[in-house]
Amino acid sequence: AICYPLHYFTKVKPKRVQVCVCLCWMFAASFTGLLLKNNLQHPGRYNSCIGECVIDMNYIANVFDLIVTFIVPITVIVILYIRIFGVAVYQARAMRSHIAVVTMKVTVKKSEM
């Protein structure tokens, strides 16, 4: 929507958004199910007292969980925000040069830029 505003509505349809959201939720549920598979097969196996909730995960599962659920999403978000910032700066410079060329008499406030 930022980089190609005129193509946004041709590429992003409500049905496509629904499919993407459903896929994200299904991935999250299946990933959590895989991590908790042992606890789901033997519930209460690691509990030593009533009301305690213990989740046993090995080191590889913890590292994989950290990478998949934290590092990859943060990296994607940062990259997308950097791209959006670059496009916004480019558009602001284009607007500033266009305003300077078109009208020399009208003063434009900094907040409007």
Q: Which domain holds residue 35?
A: 14-112
> Residue 42 falls within a domain, yes or no?
yes
Angstrom distance (rounded) from CA 60 to CA 35: 11
Question: Which residue, 52, 53, 55, 51, is CA-closest to 37?
Answer: 55
Query: Torsions phi, psi of 12, nearest 5?
Result: -105, 110
Q: Is residue 2 part of a domain?
A: no
- List pLDDT tens digits, range 5-56: 788 888 889 999 999 999 999 998 998 888 777 777 777 676 677 777 777 6
Is residue 8 assigned to a domain?
no
In a domain, 102, yes or no: yes
Q: Domain for residue 23, yes or no?
A: yes
Helix, strand, coil in percent for the chain, rounding step 5: 65, 0, 35
Answer yes or no: is 46 within a domain: yes
- The number of distinct structural domains making up the chain is 1
Percent of the chain exceeding pLDDT 90 equals: 27
Give domain status of residue 53, yes or no: yes
Say if CB 55 and CB 73 are below 8 A apart: no
Please indicate, yes or no, if residue 79 is contained in any of the structural domains. yes
Q: How confident is the model at residue 71 (pLDDT cuts 50, 70, 90)?
A: very high
